[in-house]
Amino acid sequence: MKYDPIPSELFVKNRNNFMDRMIPKSLAVFNSNDIYPISADSTLPFEQHRDIFYLSGVDQEESVLVLFPDAKNPVHREILFLKETNEHIAVWEGAKLTKKQATAVSGVQTVYWLDQLESVFFELMSQCNNVYVNTNEHYRQSVETETREDRFTKWCKEKYPSHTPQRSNPILQHLRSIKDPIEIDLIEQACTITEKGFRRILGFVKPGVWEYEIEAEFAHEFLRNRSRRFAYTPIIASGKNANVLHYVENNQQCQKGDLLLLDVGAEYANYSSDMTRTVPVSGTFTKRQKEVYNAVLKVKNEATKLLTPGMLWKEFHVEVGKLMTSELLQLGLLTKADIQIETDKKPAYKKYFMHGTSHHMGLDTHDYGLLNEPMQAQMVFTVEPGIYIPEEGFGIRLEDDVVVQPQGAPINLMKNIPIEADEIEAIMNA
């Protein structure tokens, strides 16, 4: 892996927290992701399933984690199953984890090769009544592919029909939403890499540059700082393209006088960052552009203060809506008449700010977290208001990643990334 080793104490703690929430006489299983084919002998780059990574730190295909806190044999309370490596695999694919290395990464003392899975699993199933299976229950999930996890669950239910299935995801939704200090450090590292990419492009952007060239500059800086990739598909949207919320073509030329919306984040050690900045292609905002820019920044700063323990996501968005409505009135984009006819389901501000303001962030860019439960300290959220004005040919969004604190305002993990309009202009024109 390109990233530095992560202390195994993180994964030991995560497993203990999970097992503390399991009901008695239960076993839990977590599988790695598949390697997905493209065509012929081509495959997509492997991405580890975030749940098994969260619980073990193992970043390798064909891996299985079994947790059984009530196992009669203490060595079977935590087990890793790995694909057995050999000289042929080492030559063609590179080194895989040995048993000793897997223990060092994960803190799991018992490591078997994958060909022992069925026999060991049979022994363990004779000692338990319940099996925790792992399904994707994220509120935004839209997975149509049958995963390795799905196939294992199907096999387990067919082979052991008398065992009662339990759900791992509700436990993981709670655990993964509250970040350990080690996790926050990893997210901050991803943010620092993103900062380096952003500062790099501030000296690169000018009229005539193509959006994909800017994407390439980010990719170069991310890779040279030990990030494997973008945390998500980058949005490099100049001019009117910024009004397409998930614009990813990145194939247009930046024009004089345009604004350039950059929704870009680096990953580090499977942890995400998520940044949005909007900059003037010519190095200077127009009066109107700066007016709208400062309105968005004001909403972002005020919205950030609302991310405190006990706040409900739904209530948070209501309050942000009030902030945005006030700014849109001052900008002349809304009138008092617009406010008088708005409804709860169709607030007036949605004409120019149609998306949400925050989401959980961590191992996934849209991370685990239950939106109907109060916010807690050590949760990491994005804050990303925007104003999109198709009739004026530009859109502005600003986004930072913040950590909820026990008291007071959150800590901004992107505080070092330039965001004030004057600072951005000064850097671009230096």
In a shared domain, residues 188 and 166: no
Q: Cα(335)–Cα(338) distance, rounded to whole angstroms?
A: 5
By the 8 A CB rule, do 380 and 184 touch?
yes
Q: Cα(126)–Cα(111) distance, rounded to whole angstroms?
A: 20
Summarize the confidence of residues 132-136 as an average pLDDT: 93
- Find where tokens 């890499």 sit: 193
pLDDT, position 301: 98
- Evaluate if residue 87 carries a pLDDT over 80: no
Q: How confident is the model at residue 88 (pLDDT cuts 50, 70, 90)?
A: confident
Is 268 within the bounds of a domain?
yes
By the 8 A CB rule, do 281 and 260 touch?
yes
* Structural domain containing residue 168: 8-177
Examine the fold and report which residue of 177, 209, 237 is the final residue of a domain before the chain moves on: 177
Is 227 within the bounds of a domain?
yes
Is 18 within the bounds of a domain?
yes
Q: Cα(116)–Cα(121) distance, rounded to whole angstroms?
A: 8
Q: CA 334 from chain center: how many Å?
A: 34
The 10 Å CB-count burial string (b at 16+, else e) for 273-282 is bbbbbbbbbb
pLDDT, position 85: 82
In a shared domain, residues 342 and 266: yes
In a shared domain, residues 142 and 234: no
In a shared domain, residues 187 and 152: no
Examine the fold and report which residue of 115, 143, 177 is the final residue of a domain before the chain moves on: 177
Largest CA distance in the chain: 74
Ranges of H-type helices in 251-408: 287-305, 313-330, 336-340
The 10 Å CB-count burial string (b at 16+, else e) for 236-247 is bbbbbbbbeeeb
Q: Taking all residues of the chain, what is their mean pLDDT, rounded to a whole number?
A: 96
* pLDDT tens digits along 223-277: 999 999 999 999 999 999 999 999 999 999 999 999 999 999 999 999 999 999 9
- Evaluate if residue 81 carries a pLDDT over 80: yes
In a shared domain, residues 304 and 211: yes
- Evaluate if residue 93 carries a pLDDT over 90: no
In a shared domain, residues 168 and 25: yes
Summarize the confidence of residues 344-369 as an average pLDDT: 96
Fill in the DSSP letter of residue 138.
Answer: -
Q: How confident is the model at residue 74 (pLDDT cuts 50, 70, 90)?
A: very high
Is 367 within the bounds of a domain?
yes
Is 3 within the bounds of a domain?
no
Give how far Cα 180 sits from Cα of 9, 158, 272, Å: 11, 37, 15
**Residue 43 belongs to domain with CATH number:** 3.40.350.10
In a shared domain, residues 241 and 272: yes
pLDDT, position 86: 78
In a shared domain, residues 43 and 160: yes
Examine the fold and report which residue of 177, 193, 217 is the final residue of a domain before the chain moves on: 177
- Domains held by the chain: number: 2
**Residue 407 belongs to domain with CATH number:** 3.90.230.10
Is 2 within the bounds of a domain?
no
In a shared domain, residues 237 and 315: yes
By the 8 A CB rule, do 222 and 374 touch?
no
Strands 26-31 and 37-39: what pairing?
unpaired
Q: Which residues contact 247 (CB under 8 A, 6 or more apart)?
A: 235, 237, 241
In a shared domain, residues 204 and 350: yes
In a shared domain, residues 330 and 224: yes
Is 188 within the bounds of a domain?
yes
Is 1 within the bounds of a domain?
no
In a shared domain, residues 152 and 15: yes
